[in-house]
């Protein structure tokens, strides 16, 4: 157990729907990062939050949004889902906002859009 | 912009063979961090090693060893006496310490298949 908790583990939904993925970071970690792993794009950075504030955005679609709450858990909201959004979504956490202390990944949420 | 290239998309070896996974990176920062992660068939990302740009010492951990060479911008990973349980996708990744250091940039991964 890495200490980073992602729920749900699996999600199957229809096109056009909206889903929310949840991430609880490792105890003490202030940063949460979201990554998408798809067959054609590989592992891609989506967004980074540090202590409730957005710090960096990567290749995140406008249909996707995220936030980090005061208790430091984070949610990734995916709306108007398309077949191409099917992927494994990872959350990672770290103590600081840089890479020097490493990143701990959750086990991922596998999203299937049908 | 940072970039990580893993030229080997798939490697197949027979158990007990040694295998080296290549990783080449690009960055303009002088301070950066390099990582290797393992993704077994179950899907999770397992941390293997983190190395900062100022530490060029090679590292050995059991059957695993890493060769970091700044001169060639490479951070290669060798598994000695491979085992079937080593079968997985291995990712090399880079994080810069500067303004872009908020994220990991991953290579495309190398799928290692170890046959009995």
Joined together, the tokens standing for residue A108 give 């991922």
Give the β-pairing of B10-14 and A31-38: unpaired
DSSP string, B68-114: EEGGGTEEEEEESS--GGG-EEEEEEEEESSTTTTS-EE---EEEEE
Mean pLDDT, chain B, whole residue set: 92
DSSP state of B30: S
Chain B contact set for A42 (CB, 8 A):
106, 108-109
Instruction: With a cut of 80, say whether residue B98 has pLDDT above it.
Output: no
Q: Which residues of chain A have pLDDT under 50?
A: none
- Residue A94, CA distances (Å) to A100, B41, B89 in order: 9, 25, 23
Q: How far is CA B16 from CA A68, B36, B59, B116, in A?
A: 46, 21, 20, 9
Q: Is the per-residue pLDDT at B67 higher than 80?
A: yes
B97: contact with A, CB 8 A cutoff? yes
CA distances to A63, A78, B38, B47, B94 from A81, rounded to whole Å, are 8, 7, 29, 31, 30
pLDDT band of B99, cuts 50, 70, 90: low
- In chain B, what residues touch A110 (CB-CB under 8 Å)? 43
Looking up tokens 């990302």, which residue turns up? Answer: B45
Q: Are strands A87-94 and A104-105 parallel, antiparallel or unpaired?
A: antiparallel
What band does B101 get if pLDDT is binned at 50, 70 and 90? low
Q: What's the confidence (pLDDT) of residue A99?
A: 61
Contact A93, A103 (CB under 8 A): yes
Q: Chain B 43-72, CB below 8 Å of chain A: which residues?
A: 43-45, 47, 50, 52
Task: Identify from B42, B104, B105 which residue to disrupt to test chain A contact, counting A C-beta atoms within 10 A and taking the largest count.
Answer: B104
pLDDT at B100: 56
Specify the pLDDT at position B41.
92
Say yes or no to pLDDT of B60 above 90: no
**Judged by CB atoms within 8 Å, which residues 3-32 of A form the interface with B?**
none
Please write the tens of the pLDDT for every residue from B68-96.
999 999 999 999 999 999 999 999 999 88
pLDDT in tens, A24-38: 999 999 999 999 999
Q: Which residues in chain B have Cβ-Cβ distances shorter than 8 Å to A66?
A: none
User: To the nearest whole angstrom, how far is the Cα of A47 from the nearest Cα of chain B?
Assistant: 8
Residue A48's SS3 state is strand
Which chain A residue lies closest to B3 (C-alpha atoms)? A44
Chain B contact for A107 (CB, 8 A cutoff): yes
Instruction: Give the per-residue pLDDT at B57.
Output: 83
Instruction: Give pLDDT tens digits for B10-59.
Output: 999 999 999 999 999 999 888 899 999 999 999 999 999 999 899 888 88
Q: How far apart are CA A82 and CA A15, in angstroms?
A: 5
């Amino acid at each position: 157990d890495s200490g980073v908790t992602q729920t749900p583990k699996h999600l199957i939904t229809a096109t056009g729907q909206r889903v929310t993925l949840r991430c609880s970071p490792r105890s003490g970690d202030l940063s949460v990062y979201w990554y998408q792993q798809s067959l054609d794009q590989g592992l891609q950075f989506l967004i980074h939050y540090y202590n409730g504030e957005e710090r960096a955005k990567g290749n995140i679609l406008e249909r996707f949004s995220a936030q980090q709450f005061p208790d430091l858990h984070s949610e990734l909201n995916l709306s108007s889902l398309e077949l191409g959004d099917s992927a494994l979504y990872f959350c990672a956490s770290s103590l600081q906002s840089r890479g020097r202390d490493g990143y701990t990944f959750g086990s991922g949420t596998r999203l299937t859009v049908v | 912009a940072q970039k990580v290239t893993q030229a080997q998309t798939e490697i197949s070896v027979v158990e007990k063979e040694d295998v080296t996974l290549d990783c080449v990176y690009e960055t303009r920062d002088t301070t950066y961090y390099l990582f290797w992660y393992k993704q077994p068939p179950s899907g999770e990302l397992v941390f293997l090693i983190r190395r900062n740009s100022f530490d060029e010492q090679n590292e050995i951990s059991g059957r695993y060893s890493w060769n970091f060479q700044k001169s060639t911008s490479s951070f290669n990973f060798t598994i000695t006496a491979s085992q079937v349980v080593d079968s997985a996708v291995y990712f090399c990744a880079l994080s810069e310490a500067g303004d872009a250091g908020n994220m990991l940039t991953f290579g495309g991964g190398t799928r290692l298949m170890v046959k009995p």
